[in-house]
Structure 1
Amino acid sequence: MIERPTRQLVVLRAGDGSLHREWIADARRDFDLFISYYGDTPGRHQADADFYEHRPGAKWPGIAALLDEHDDWIDGYDAVWFPDDDLSANTGTIDRLFAFFRAHELCLAQPALTRDSPCTWHTLRQDPRALLRHTGFIEVMAPLFSRAALRACRASFKESPSGWGLDWIWPRLCAQAGLSGIAVIDATPVRHTRPPGGELYRRNRELDPRADAARLIARYGLAEVRAVAKYSITRRVAALPLPVHRRLLYWLKRLNGRRKQLAAR
């Protein structure tokens, strides 16, 4: 049995350009790091990891296989985070992410994205008025699972080679297991540094994301309504009021971003 010095685990499918060294820059961290390297240089990143393997292939099928092989000890963690390798965050942010997850007794969550992050769903960008927002949708980019939610959802990981569609079905699987508490955690934003898509897609060109999503939606009897993801915030847990100058700066940035969008059309 593997000894677990912490109660939290980060499982990372890492390529050559992984940003994970930012995450572990502070040696005093409250999580373990399992690096599953998918590149071509054996041993790359091994020195950075508490646990390590070399496994080519796409993110979610690789994670499914990893969980099958190491279920005996991974199941002992209270919470497991599966971030993409192009997220920029420091050690303290990740520690706080797990702390908020525990404190609010969530089953499924993700950190908000910084306001300058390339993204697919704008509602997943940070809301500076909130500590977290309860929602019905968490993206595959950086989902955080409780032990019970991971047990409920892990079989689905191998159902979508690209990962597309998994985020549509996880809330349903959690609900079927009697689990509640899904949120975007605004208090711990991370920055997405690359446009959606990336090295894993380039290395696995056989992936057909849209077909994967359609197949899952049909299998689980879901109606693909994009508004479910876009407008699924159900409740905001408010932060302390921002100072006037911070609120003004926030709205000026939003206005400037809107002007740039209009100018680009």
Structure 2
Amino acid sequence: MDRVLAAGIYMSDRPSTVAHVSYRLACARENDVTQRWIALAPDGRGRFDHPGTIFVATAPAPKFALLNRILADAHGFDWVIIADDDIELAEDAVDRLLHHARTYDLALCQPARTADSFTDHPIVQELPGVTARRTRFVEIGPFVCIRRDAARLLLPFGEDCAMGWGLDFVWPVIIENAGLRMGIVDDVTMAHRIRPPAQHYSHSTAHTDMYRLLARNPHLTHDDAFSVVEIFT
């Protein structure tokens, strides 16, 4: 049984599915999942008593800097899952996702998004009749799974990551240079429809941080990233 560290951040003062996501993670039967959550509670507002809450952030802080706080021992786990608080998953999503990741040797992967989800990049939408795809793109969120060998390369997150924008164009270069594979699992889907993305932080600041990150790191272009290498049915 593989050991899985699931780390997430939830907003204490806005609608979320953190209880649902946490339950789905706990539903894993073929993997041993440890959950750690950080609550974002501006000025102490809202509820931040969700089980598994390790830390409560009452002042603004970059998402990925916060995640580093609860991922310090990530290399001791077989898999790391990073989850947001505004998605919906099937009861057996974790076990099936990791099963397909093992079957198709995906060191970095994500569930496909349902057709009714908020979607920035069409490549991540589910393809009917497809089990999984080997791709050159995996989103930084809202749910991403990282195998131990990839975690050694991708974690901890750099101080310039901030909200993580742009990492999904840097990651493929790191993964491919290490001879690893990445992809999207269409047989396991997630719905991302509770809140529109990027509503609780500055769009312009996130874009500036992204351009700075890409200027400092080798990365794929959009055209190179949004391509399917292999399809599994």
Measured against the shorter chain, the TM-score band is 0.7 to 0.9
Taking the aligned partners of 2:145 and 2:205, their CA distance within structure 1 comes to: 25
Which residue in 1 is equivalent to 2:209? Answer: 212
Which residue in 2 is equivalent to 1:34? Answer: 36
Structure whose residues are more often helix by fraction: 1
Structure whose residues are more often strand by fraction: 2
> How big is each residue's C-alpha offset from its partner over 1:194-221, in whole Å with a ceiling of 9 and x where there is no partner?
322133x2xxx49712212211222124
Which residue in 2 is equivalent to 1:130? Answer: 130
C-alpha change, 1:133 and 1:156, in structure 2 (3 Å) is same
The reply on whether 1:237 has 2:232 as its aligned counterpart is: yes
The reply on whether 1:190 has 2:190 as its aligned counterpart is: yes
The reply on whether 1:48 has 2:51 as its aligned counterpart is: yes
3-state SS of 1:18 partner:
coil
3-state SS of 1:158 partner:
coil
Superposition map of 1:137-176 within 5 A: 137-141=137-141, 142-176=143-177
Alpha-carbon offset, residue 58 of structure 1: 2.7
Please tell me whether the aligned partners of residues 20 and 85 of structure 1 are also in contact (alpha carbons under 8 angstroms): yes
Please tell me whether the aligned partners of residues 14 and 37 of structure 1 are also in contact (alpha carbons under 8 angstroms): yes
Residue type at the aligned position of 1:76: G
List runs of 5+ in structure 1 lacking aligned partners: 239-265
3-state SS of 1:91 partner:
coil
Please tell me whether the aligned partners of residues 21 and 87 of structure 2 are also in contact (alpha carbons under 8 angstroms): no
> Which of the two has higher C-alpha Rg?
1
> How big is each residue's C-alpha offset from its partner over 1:147-174, in whole Å with a ceiling of 9 and x where there is no partner?
1111101144432212111111111122
C-alpha change, 1:42 and 1:80, in structure 2 (3 Å) is farther
List runs of 5+ in structure 2 lacking aligned partners: none
3-state SS of 1:140 partner:
coil
Superposition map of 1:25-104 within 5 A: 25=23, 28-29=27-28, 30=31, 31-40=33-42, 41=44, 44-49=47-52, 52-56=54-58, 57-67=61-71, 70-71=72-73, 74-104=74-104
Superposition map of 1:246-257 within 5 A: none
Question: Alignment length, in residue pairs?
Answer: 222
Please tell me whether the aligned partners of residues 107 and 179 of structure 1 are also in contact (alpha carbons under 8 angstroms): no
Alpha-carbon offset, residue 116 of structure 1: 0.9
> How big is each residue's C-alpha offset from its partner over 1:105-151, in whole Å with a ceiling of 9 and x where there is no partner?
21111110001111100110001121110000111112211111111
Residue type at the aligned position of 1:34: R
Taking the aligned partners of 2:184 and 2:219, their CA distance within structure 1 comes to: 22
Please tell me whether the aligned partners of residues 175 and 182 of structure 2 are also in contact (alpha carbons under 8 angstroms): no
TM-score, length-scaled by structure 1: 0.75
Which residue in 1 is equivalent to 2:107? Answer: 107
Alpha-carbon offset, residue 222 of structure 1: 3.7
Shifted more, 31-40 versus 115-124: the winner is 31-40
Which residue in 1 is equivalent to 2:119? Answer: 119
Which residue in 2 is equivalent to 1:251? Answer: none
C-alpha change, 1:18 and 1:236, in structure 2 (3 Å) is same
